[in-house]
Chain A
Amino acid sequence: MKSMRIAIATAALSVLVVGFSGTSAQQPTSPTPVLTALDYLEIEQLVYRYGYALDTGADNGFAYADLYADDATFTGTNQGPSGRTYQGRERLAALARGGKRSPNFMSHWVTNVVIEPAPGGAVGKTYVGIFDIGNGGNGAKSRVDHGGIYNDVYVKTPQGWRFKSRSFFESTSGAPVQPPPAMLGTPRALSASPGPQSPNPESRNPNPGRLAAEDYIEIQQLVARYPYALDQNPDEGLSYANLFTPDAVFRQPRTEGRQNLARMASGAPHGAKYARHFLANHVIEATPDGAVGKQYLVAVDIGESAQPSSIFLGGHYEDVYAKTPEGWRFKTRTFIASATATEAK
């Protein structure tokens, strides 16, 4: 009898837990939902996954299609005289496997991601610079192909944040400054979300294998510090080497140990005001041991003294991060040059 009461209580609790989880995963119903730090970070991750899914055509295009909600649309306003809209998983997958695609092909650099809460979820806008990186850039004429913006609507589904709609607008210049309706509201504080004085329960990490907001931020900051340590290199590679764990491995060329990493960094061009390594699309994922990540790299030789700028190389980094007492560090970091020689898998 006692065991039956326990079983009933457990079942009731399970229903409550499932009910609560289901509610939290449904679309927000309030006119202006509150976005937590993790909401912002997860939407940003969705936006950064887009580049990989589109450029690689992974899973026969379905990696791209699955970034969208069931009834979602992509509109290419630059396709044909009146634009073209794609809706449905099959059509979106077909779009993603068309054109130039390859497992290591990198083309869409997405930056300036602005996200705001909106009825039903969130809206956002991003820049996209589309670079034509010819097989890593070395020996090939890499160039800026085109660019523009994405206008997005995001929705929170049981599987996480997804695109509800995404529209691409090609960049053109020459339009006079006019005050057309802003695509997003005026800048304002994120005070609608839990503020600094009210810690966000989601920002703590209740589940191993899931990253807290602080972890995402620290890993973002680790990767953001990398170009400064390499390009500005104020201390003979020491800052660069200290971004890695003592047993870390960098490839290519394969370099192990902080001393060797510092030496490698000092072998690269540098200067107090030098900017060469531009990183975008930083995707971060939790693993049982820590986290892994990847991001696009375009190395630009900014022209000095009226010389033209050029793209030195492009590709992506694949990282393994480890949480140490000093914070998150690279455990391995591998650069893979952009390549178009193979077909999309």
Chain B
Amino acid sequence: MKTIPPPCPVPDTGPKYWRSLDQLADTPEFREWAEREFPAGAGELTDPVTRRSFVKLMSASFLLAGVGGLAGCRRPIENIYPFSKMPEGYVHGVPKYYATARPTRRSAVPLLAKSNDGRPTKLEGNPHHPDSNGGTDTFTQASILNLYDPDRAIRFAQDGNNATPEAARDALSKIAADAQSSGGKGLCFLAEQSSSPSRLRLQQALGAKLPQAKWYEHEPVDFDINREAASLAFGRSVKPYFKIDQAKVIVSLDCDFIGSEEDAYINIRRFAKGRKLEKKDDSMSRLYIVEALMSQTGMNADHRLRLPASAVIQIAALLAGEILNQSGQSDASLASAIAKLVDQRTISDLNAQLKPTDAKSARKWSADFINKWAAECAQDLLRHRGRSLVLAGYRQPMAVHLIAHALNSALGNIDSTVVFHEVPAPKNGNIADLAGALNSGQVDTLVILGGNPAYTAPVDVKWADAQAKAKTVVRLGYYEDESFPAKGWNLPQAHFLESWGDARTADGTIVSIQPLIEPLFGGVTDLEVIARVGGLDKTTPYDIVRETFQAGTHGGEEDWKQFIHDGFLANSAYQSASVRLDASAVTQELASAEAVTVPGKDKLEVIFHRDYRVDDGSFNNNGWLQELPDPVTKMTWENTVLMSVQTAKDLGLYIHNRENNRLMVPLVKITVDGRDVVGPAWIQPGQADNTIGLALGYGRSNTGRVGRNSGYNAYSVRSTRHLHCSIGAKLAATGEKHHLSTTQDHWSMEGRPIVREATLKEFQQHPDFADSLSMEKPTPFAPLYPNPFDEAKKTGHHQWGMVIDLNSCVGCSACMTACQSENNVPIVGKYQVANNREMHWLRLDRYYTGDVEDPQVVTQPMLCQHCEAAPCENVCPVNATTHDQEGLNVMVYNRCVGTRYCSNNCPYKVRRFNFFDYNRRSLEQLQGPVYPTPLTSKSNGEWDLLRWFRDPDRGTKPADEWDMLKLSKNPDVTVRMRGVMEKCTFCVQRIQAAEITQKVKAGASGDVTVPNGSFKTACQQACPAEAIEFGNIADPESRVSQLKAQSRNYSVLEFLNTKPRTTYLARVRNPNPAMPDAYDQPESTVEFKQHNGGSEAGPAEMGAKKGAE
């Protein structure tokens, strides 16, 4: 007799994505079901049954009981279930790649997403996309973690209570029905920006159906000024697209185009392309920048002028004055309007502020420094007509953008370095208009599509109050955050990897967004909500996108498949529009430009800037980005109040202070337009005096476990009138101290030739300048024992090596996040970062050289150098780190006992140690400095040790976190436990995958050498600048070998004879010798000279001398 167990009930709520038995076991239904097994089994005993069936039953019961943790005296058994029906072509363990895209504000990042057994684990740029090389940015790399964020909105909520998805959809239908009857009167939408053709189509359909419904858009960091300014300047709705690689001279007017502007990763690619040097006669572009804050672009500039953001217009006008006059073809009224903007008194005031206090740096300064700077810069632009480019940053007012367009027009750059794309002008109001409508009671139904307006809206809008005034609020949100409606609906938003959609990238190419996984928590997309509220026929996102595709291309099934497969629609890019500057419109607009006020120490200029890590706050709960050091400040886990050295001195702030190994800085209160906010003060070398930088996106009052208590909220002092910049702020120390965590404490390179630099001229004269900075290498004689690698090397099929081009690297940190995602690198929390225990395998070292007020900045990606004579290997007592025959310094986690000697002996300090069981710590524990022991701590009302004993793998993580965490890991990379050392492996899993593929392909032919360029390491793949090259150095044809053969190639600390496999190509700066701040040698070289005998000879001359010998 066979006992059939009752069917396993499927829970109505809760996760639907992972149906492993052990998870289900935790639901009450399952437990009940499992328990019901026993009476049935017990009943068997009294029945005259065979022994066999009893034993069968009992063993099944025990199995289930064990799995359920009901009789948990053993470790839980985890079963691997095979597919009952194998998908066609599926090979278990081999990841699949799908094309998709990450939508951004008015653009998108084309992607290839890696899927392991049905869950996305890594995002890579789509290299086939016409405007991509496969590189991405940090946000994209980290966005996959948002998918598995245990704190995301996981439920449909009505008035804060759980509700079913069906009820939510009914509510939307009701709104739709009501709107139908009133023609949409009183129905308002508040959306984030989007480039989706489908959304545009839906919006139009909605407008047709509900003519009275109103559409508003809100972006706290809004790049639309580019389109607005271009539309104004050229008299039609166009948007600029910059071909930075075509420009030989680039002038940035406070434009952080390789940092915080939209589509920076494309700009980085193009910028790096314009600066690639292969041979000594190659030319490279020159970058000038005028800016207030030290930005990534500023870090990479050849000439940088620090001025308050509000004064940038003066430089723009000075440049325009020179250029418009000399180009000879400009409109006289425009020229005079621009000339009127120049105020020599303001300029001389600013010039006075620029005067350095110490005589050493004063050599560059003169009484008309700014004028000279602008004049020479203008001359350089004029010399490169048609091959130059002037860019204006999104924080700059309209006037600066218009001047930039006028300059580009006068210089003949239009259609050469900048093209204009015709785009539809959005018809929508802004959030202030909507708040007005709400406050006057005109809004019955408010539909919020994404975003977090209660947090990001300008403070004077008082959005939270306004939002509550709508009769019905439906909000689609990724988190249950500040904008979570206490009354009304909150719908969980689907992640882009869970939803169908489409978008247009910067060049206009239409990209498909296809889901890689069912919505984990049943989230919905904005397309669906619009369609439902609008009462449209098709409400599923797939149908909507499909219909849009159909309408746009009239393509058939095969075209659609092609579109989904490729991830983009070929030849769908915008056509460049031919434009002519509308001088009169520009002249008219310039007349209304505000006069410049020079900020002083009691009327400071406050600049609200987009954060390099959490964007506008949307990535606030993303641990990878929170722990990613800011590319400029190297600060983690929070934002700081940035100011220059001189400003801090003027304000009487002593910043760099250590107390008990904690970086303790004064908390300061900044008062802007009558409102104040308190944040930790921090010095940013190179920032303009009397300016204060406040990064947006932190200080959230209602966020997840990661973002909690991180930073201060700059939005709380940001008002509609002063969205980007406000003059007249006051700053006062509160007398309190605040603890900061930075990953790099020391600013200076101390004259050591770690990052090597030269000017273009020096490079042309002495292409081997990098080598000439090397220290004398001792000749190894009578070694104690031969290096075992020398013998092993002979048996390797490949010899792996890496080259990093410091001339291309801009320090964007995409590689760091890519590495973190690829290699399951854990986050450690603010206090652990303060103890220098961050786990990044790849880090970006940033050094300031020269004058602290006006430094030159260099960045250097630093990762395991895979030394051939690795100092870490011979000191490990247990052979846990050894060399393989292909030149990888491999780390055997299983064998490591954690003496940490390898790290001490590593001159590059690239090894990372698991001081705690970071992978099993709960997110709550990111906060604390000292962690509880499982022996004593209590949580969930249970003695922790017991739980740890029952499920040691989970550690102290709550179930939700643990389940999400498991999904986010790369199954090809070991998750390291506590007490072991780890480090960059050169992505050994990718090497192995490539080698296995090649071996399979080779078959009997025996050609097992992996072809060049058939795979990339994660950092290399993510790098938009193509600064990282990896490959087989045994093959002279490989790109990496060719780069290593270049004259700029050098290894860091070569004198130690470690023979690193990772080498660097020295950086080259391209200063203009006519500039007042020209330099013959980069500051780092000057410092090197000072530290090495102070001889007048620079590296170039030294190289020459060496050659002469």
- The reply to whether chain A is a binding partner of chain B is no
Q: Residues of A at under 8 Å CB distance from B?
A: none
